[in-house]
Chains A and B, each alone.
Chain A
């Protein structure tokens, strides 16, 4: 069971990342829970500077850009 977090203030890029994560999970069939963190105070606990951020099991994997579905699938199956 993987814990995935998408950090972002609700901009278009953040929404795309979130949807890509859902799609990647569906395609790989990996068991994971996805949390969207939009609250800035909560977000700053993770010391991010650019959004969106994709975190898997508390590790920031992608920062400041949209991760595409294939990339997320690759990170998930690592």
Chain B
């Protein structure tokens, strides 16, 4: 699908700039041009696609639907899948949390949504697709959805309500089913300008991180020998996956900057499962989010929440290493 782009990058760097393909610099520049354009194209396409879906299924509608309908367990799958299509900013996690429990949505389902929403987002999907191809991306998305379901379900079984802050417990006690939402009757062409503008804003917002990420990736790509890391990190080390997740959590970086670097680490010999576990830690859990959650949970619950998710991320890492 992107052969033309590789041809273009080869032509630009090797013919126009006249830098030899055999030099480190040539290899690094080629990687940089190829990756930047590929990510930019995919990012635009996917943010627009997600914008269209989101325009028809805004988070309010999802919340009200989950609030009104009991689906005998299927609501976990719903909440998790909706987490994929809605855009997420960690600063919205608290209002979302309260908004969900206020509508009488069980804590477990609320957690499911809260796990998947940051983990599988449009920016991560686009960069994943550009860096690792569609098969690995599909596996990542599916794993994210399953992780949300299993994680939320497990947390729901723990009876954690008593660890919420008193005012949140009060909200749960007075929870009410939400009304059906008044829908905007707009056609797709009426919605499109706003969707396009928002997609452009998202791309603009992450572009700096992407370029920095690719630049670091490109220089490693050009200058480190293939298989460089194989010696240090390989599938045989059982502790590599948990370590990768634990190092990933405190690293507050967005998916945009980190994935292009990981792509190179994988190319230079780090097992893919270990790398994905690391990325899940970076993208899915962050310390600033934990600080925000302090307004609704006590420290013990935040620790249980992070611990449970980290545990399932580690499991997914092992699973990837076996499967891929």
Q: How many residues of B contact A (CB 8 A)?
A: 21
Report yes or no: A8 in contact with B98, Cβ–Cβ below 8 A. no
8 Å CB contact of A8 from B91, B99, B201, B296: B91
B287 at interface, CB cutoff 8 A: no
8 Å CB contact of A9 from B91, B102, B198: B91
B interface secondary structure, majority: helix
Report yes or no: B201 in contact with A44, Cβ–Cβ below 8 A. no
Alpha-carbon separation in the docked complex, A11 to B98 (Å) = 18
User: What A residues does B87 contact at CB under 8 A?
Assistant: 64
Of the four ranges (under 10, 10 to 19, 20 to 34, 35 or more), the interface on chain A belongs to: 10 to 19
User: What B residues does A9 contact at CB under 8 A?
Assistant: 91, 94-95, 292
B1 at interface, CB cutoff 8 A: no
Report yes or no: B95 in contact with A13, Cβ–Cβ below 8 A. no
Report yes or no: B94 in contact with A40, Cβ–Cβ below 8 A. yes
A30 at interface, CB cutoff 8 A: no
Alpha-carbon separation in the docked complex, A51 to B91 (Å) = 7
Report yes or no: A44 in contact with B95, Cβ–Cβ below 8 A. yes
User: What A residues does B90 contact at CB under 8 A?
Assistant: 11
Alpha-carbon separation in the docked complex, A51 to B88 (Å) = 10
A77 at interface, CB cutoff 8 A: no
Report yes or no: A49 in contact with B201, Cβ–Cβ below 8 A. no
8 Å CB contact of B98 from A14, A40, A65, A66: A40
Report yes or no: A43 in contact with B95, Cβ–Cβ below 8 A. yes
User: What B residues does A47 contact at CB under 8 A?
Assistant: 99, 102
A41 at interface, CB cutoff 8 A: yes
Report yes or no: B63 in contact with A49, Cβ–Cβ below 8 A. yes
Alpha-carbon separation in the docked complex, A65 to B201 (Å) = 10
User: What A residues does B160 contact at CB under 8 A?
Assistant: none
Interface residues of A in 22-59 (CB under 8 A from B): 40-41, 43-44, 47-51
Which 8 A-B pairs give the minimum distances between C-beta atoms?
Answer: A11-B91, A49-B99, A50-B92, A44-B98, A9-B91, A49-B59, A51-B92, A48-B95
9 contacts between A and B (CB under 8 A): A11-B90, A13-B89, A40-B98, A44-B95, A44-B102, A49-B95, A51-B89, A51-B92, A64-B59
A contacts, CB < 8 Å to B: 8-11, 13-14, 40-41, 43-44, 47-51, 63-66
Given A9-B91, A44-B171, A49-B95: 16 more A-B contacts, CB < 8 Å = A10-B91, A11-B89, A11-B91, A13-B89, A40-B94, A41-B167, A43-B95, A44-B102, A49-B96, A50-B89, A50-B92, A51-B89, A64-B59, A64-B87, A64-B92, A66-B201
